[in-house]
Chains A and B, each alone.
Chain A
């Protein structure tokens, strides 16, 4: 019964979902990194397909792909915001998974409510800005 209890713990910690996502995305990106013919089979942003607008996530896949190939400049060009928050996301993911699975007690990121609201504002501003077809802003588009 140890196993099922652990599994419940993993699901409750929410780390399972996040890890699944990371694994899936990672798998696709690894495919993309080695087989460029496959890249047209990588899922496109449905919002972009439907409306032609760039959402905050557009270019994220290509940005991670570029990062995996060590091209930070290209990654910044695809999705600068993702590159910016990726270290924090990675740390939070490792902390959460480590706590849920191995009982690590890494310190939490001391994020106050103000910071969360600022993040929200930043994401919305970023989304609007990258859809403005004027030079300083359109560089944020993928």
Chain B
């Protein structure tokens, strides 16, 4: 359990022991809003919320992106704009750096089963999002990932609409031939 990871500039650093993490916290490399994770934890958490990293557990830090936390109360100390977003999805049992979903599955599904041109755009957006993510530009990655999601959705909607229209034409017209 003495294995820890933290996010620095969008990159995952680790594994390091807790003692090292505490040292980094003392040096200011790890801030209360730095995301940390250890096997057994359900998801990434702010270092300030995890007991044992900072001398006194600080309360939950102010949300960086208020729209992620509906009805958030009065924020405390404002983290700097480059702080990683507070709410990250669960990482699962295996450590992975991809904490921004790029909706690649949907994009490929859309390309191979539905409306190809829009699906290709979705894959391009997903690839760009992944690239930005690996460069540590999390906000940009999030924006591109939303684009990928939208293009994938429209591709699927268009594909389904096309199928329904085709079906109606076949049923009403008794065939196109």
Task: For the complex of A and B, list the 7 residue pairs with the smallest distance between their C-beta atoms, beginning with the closest.
Answer: A107-B94, A43-B163, A113-B130, A116-B127, A92-B105, A55-B116, A113-B131
Whether B29 is near chain A, meaning CB under 8 Å from some CB there, is no
Instruction: Contact check, B113 vs A21: say whether CB atoms are below 8 A apart.
Output: yes
Which residues of chain A have a CB within 8 Å of any CB of chain B? 14, 17-18, 21, 24-25, 40-41, 43-44, 46-47, 55-57, 60-61, 79, 81-82, 85, 89, 92-93, 96, 99, 105-108, 110-113, 116-117, 119-120, 123-124, 127
Instruction: Contact check, B90 vs A120: say whether CB atoms are below 8 A apart.
Output: no
Residues of B within 8 A of A14 (CB): 101, 103, 106, 149
Which residues of chain B have a CB within 8 Å of any CB of chain A? 42, 89-94, 96, 98, 101-106, 108-109, 111-117, 119-120, 123-124, 126-127, 130-131, 133-134, 149, 153, 156, 160, 162-164, 166-167, 170-171, 175
Q: Which of A41, A81, A107, A124 is in CB contact (< 8 Å) with B112?
A: A81
Instruction: Contact check, B109 vs A89: say whether CB atoms are below 8 A apart.
Output: yes
Main secondary structure of the interface of B (DSSP, over half): helix
Known: A14-B149, A43-B167, A56-B116. A123 touches B111 (CB 8 A): yes
Instruction: Contact check, A17 vs B153: say whether CB atoms are below 8 A apart.
Output: yes
- Output the residue of B42, B91, B106, B167 with the most chain A CB within 10 A: B106
Q: Which residue of the partner chain A has the closest CB to B132? A: A113
Residues of A within 8 A of B111 (CB): 56-57, 123
30 CB-based A-B contacts, threshold 8 Å = A14-B106, A17-B153, A18-B106, A18-B109, A43-B163, A43-B167, A44-B166, A47-B116, A47-B117, A55-B116, A60-B112, A60-B113, A82-B113, A89-B108, A93-B105, A105-B90, A105-B91, A105-B92, A107-B94, A111-B104, A113-B127, A113-B130, A116-B104, A116-B126, A119-B123, A120-B120, A120-B123, A120-B124, A123-B108, A123-B120
